[in-house]
């Protein structure tokens, strides 16, 4: 007779861990977005070229993509506590080092350790979530700390311009880096595995450990690359991730170039965009889950949600020609919401189609593919802005990317068939 699951405990230490993860994700996005927020001022002061800034974005994405795969295996070896500490230390060193340079070429040397460290953040966060949350709570915990990305994107244009105006642009990097060091101190002092944490009650530990841990099942890259399911995820990431990177790196410049928005005024439009992105992140996952609850197949639920997001993202094509700032904000915010909703369903592919314990390597390949796509998009954006001088072609590509991704995914996995464990020796 199966043993009943333990009752939900009163202990809340696991949710404090979740709050720390949320704060770390928010801080990682703040540190990532300080430079794009300062770009109009630094470009005017130090005469950066559009291609020089594009090279910064390309260098970041190249390092991020390669480190994404390597850090996943590193975290598996050393655990979440050490893995996250190493990641945060690396990205903070790189982030603060931006203050040492004035040229776009020089800042690449600061951008590289930032990218490598931030690539380790998500694998470490997932490892912590897997250690601290049973399956029935894990998705909620991941959704909560992943929302920190949009919170970081909202806070950056509110705090960074004020710091830069009051104390100089270098202090914007130093002050935000100091916040991350405070988080690192809290992480090292508080985080332990559940069994080693003195404040975890016996009831909460039983709740956390109610399921057997997934067995590690490393799979050779060549085996994964022979599977259509792997390529559906990898190519989906390759096509859609560059659009999100474009929003992160170029939105402040677009608002400044197109509508004359000055650095101190970036806050309201960027906050609106990323609030809409938060809504889309929740709605995209809710919609496919709702379809599943009504009896739809996983294939139909995921692809219907992706199709809805692709359709609703189309107004981004006209954002460069919007009659006013807030019409552009609406079009871009809707596209960001649709991106997050589309991504929620693409990111579900490894869990939907691969046996437990084997999806991590697929996620690493997808992260690399997304970074490679982001590099290509950055080169394209730099070339367009230097030549055409406007964002019209960039937003046109953004409007088509989600239909292209859905088509590729459907052609590769028309029936959404899971990978049989025996195919992963």
- Per residue in 283-314, pLDDT (tens digit) is 887 788 788 778 888 899 889 999 999 999 99
What distance in Å separates the CA atoms of residue 26 and residue 276, rounded to the nearest whole number? 17
Average pLDDT estimate for 181-206: 88
Is 219-420 in CATH node 1.20.1250.20?
Answer: yes
Residue indicated by tokens 């490894």: 350
| Contact in structure between 110 and 100 (CB atoms under 8 Å) | yes
Q: Calculate the dihedral angle through the C-alpha atoms of 135, 72, 34, 333, rounding to the nearest 10 degrees.
A: -50
Structure confidence by residue, pLDDT tens digits, 96-145: 999 999 888 889 999 999 999 998 887 788 778 777 877 556 656 776 77
| Contact in structure between 405 and 239 (CB atoms under 8 Å) | yes
Average pLDDT estimate for 219-240: 90
- pLDDT for the residue 1: 41
- pLDDT for the residue 383: 87
Residue indicated by tokens 């314990």: 357
Lowest mean pLDDT of 201-215, 247-261, 322-336, 410-424, name the range: 201-215
CATH number given to 11-205: 1.20.1250.20
- pLDDT for the residue 287: 84
What distance in Å separates the CA atoms of residue 274 and residue 96, rounded to the nearest whole number? 25
Structure confidence by residue, pLDDT tens digits, 37-74: 898 888 888 988 888 888 888 888 889 888 888 887 78
What distance in Å separates the CA atoms of residue 288 and residue 174, rounded to the nearest whole number? 42
pLDDT higher than 60, residue 213: no
pLDDT higher than 90, residue 176: yes
- pLDDT for the residue 5: 53
Structure confidence by residue, pLDDT tens digits, 18-43: 999 999 989 998 998 899 889 888 88
- pLDDT for the residue 306: 94
Structure confidence by residue, pLDDT tens digits, 357-378: 565 677 778 888 988 998 889 8
What distance in Å separates the CA atoms of residue 402 and residue 400, rounded to the nearest whole number? 6
Q: How confident is the model at residue 157 (pLDDT cuts 50, 70, 90)?
A: confident
Q: How confident is the model at residue 425 (pLDDT cuts 50, 70, 90)?
A: low
Structure confidence by residue, pLDDT tens digits, 317-327: 999 999 999 99
Average pLDDT estimate for 413-424: 81
Whole-model pTM: value is: 0.77
Q: How confident is the model at residue 215 (pLDDT cuts 50, 70, 90)?
A: very low
What distance in Å separates the CA atoms of residue 41 and residue 223, rounded to the nearest whole number? 48
- pLDDT for the residue 286: 78
pLDDT higher than 70, residue 212: no
H/E segment holding residue 300 = helix 298-312
The two structure tokens encoding residue 161 = 């311009």
- pLDDT for the residue 322: 93
Q: What is the mean pLDDT of the chain?
A: 85
What distance in Å separates the CA atoms of residue 59 and residue 68, rounded to the nearest whole number? 14
Question: Which is higher by pLDDT, 270 or 410?
Answer: 410
Average pLDDT estimate for 205-223: 68
Residue extent(s) of CATH 1.20.1250.20 domains in the chain: 11-205, 219-420
Average pLDDT estimate for 201-230: 75
- pLDDT for the residue 137: 66
The two structure tokens encoding residue 22 = 């949320």
Percentage of residues in the chain having pLDDT higher than 70: 92
| Contact in structure between 259 and 319 (CB atoms under 8 Å) | no
- pLDDT for the residue 413: 94
Average pLDDT estimate for 184-198: 90
Distances (CA, A) of 399 to 301, 370, 375: 22, 17, 18
pLDDT higher than 80, residue 76: no
Average pLDDT estimate for 384-413: 92
Q: How confident is the model at residue 227 (pLDDT cuts 50, 70, 90)?
A: very high
């Amino acid at each position: 007779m199966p043993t009943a699951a333990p009752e939900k405990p009163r202990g809340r230490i696991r949710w404090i861990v979740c709050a720390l993860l949320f704060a770390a994700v928010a801080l990682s996005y703040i540190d990532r977005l300080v430079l794009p927020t300062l770009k109009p001022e630094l470009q005017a002061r130090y005469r950066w070229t559009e291609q020089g800034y594009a090279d910064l974005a390309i260098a970041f994405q190249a390092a991020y993509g390669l480190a994404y795969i390597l850090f996943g295996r590193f975290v598996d070896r050393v655990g979440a506590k050490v893995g996250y500490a190493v990641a945060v230390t690396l990205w903070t060193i790189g982030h603060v080092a931006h203050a040492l340079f004035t040229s776009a070429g020089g800042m690449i040397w600061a951008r590289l350790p930032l990218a490598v460290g931030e690539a380790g953040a998500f694998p470490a966060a997932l490892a912590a979530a897997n250690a601290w949350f049973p399956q029935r709570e894990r998705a909620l915990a991941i959704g909560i700390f992943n929302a920190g990305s949009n919170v970081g994107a909202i806070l950056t244009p509110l705090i960074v311009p004020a710091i830069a105006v009051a104390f100089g642009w270098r202090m914007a990097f130093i002050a935000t880096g100091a916040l991350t060091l405070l988080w690192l101190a809290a992480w090292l002092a508080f985080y332990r595995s559940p069994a080693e944490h003195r404040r975890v009650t016996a009831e909460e530990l039983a709740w956390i450990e109610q399921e057997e841990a997934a067995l590690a099942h490393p799979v050779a890259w060549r085996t994964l690359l022979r599977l259509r399911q792997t390529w559906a995820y990898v190519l989906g990431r390759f096509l859609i991730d560059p659009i999100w990177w474009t929003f992160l790196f170029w939105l402040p410049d677009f608002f400044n170039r197109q509508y004359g928005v000055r650095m101190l005024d970036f806050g309201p439009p960027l906050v609106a965009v990323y609030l809409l992105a938060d809504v889309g992140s929740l709605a995209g996952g809710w919609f496919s889950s709702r379809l599943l609850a009504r009896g739809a197949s996983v294939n139909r639920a995921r692809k219907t949600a992706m199709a809805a997001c692709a359709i609703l993202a189309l107004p981004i094509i006209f954002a460069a020609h919007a009659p006013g700032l807030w019409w552009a904000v609406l079009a871009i915010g809707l596209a960001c919401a649709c991106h997050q909703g589309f991504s929620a369903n693409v990111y579900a592919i490894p869990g939907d189609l691969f046996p437990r314990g084997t999806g991590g390597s697929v996620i690493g390949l997808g992260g690399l593919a997304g970074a490679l796509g982001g590099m290509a998009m950055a080169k394209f954006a730099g070339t367009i802005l230097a030549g055409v001088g406007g964002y019209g072609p960039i937003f046109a590509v953004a409007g088509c990317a989600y239909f292209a991704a859905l088509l590729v995914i459907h052609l590769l996995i028309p029936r959404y068939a899971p990978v049989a464990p025996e195919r992963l020796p």
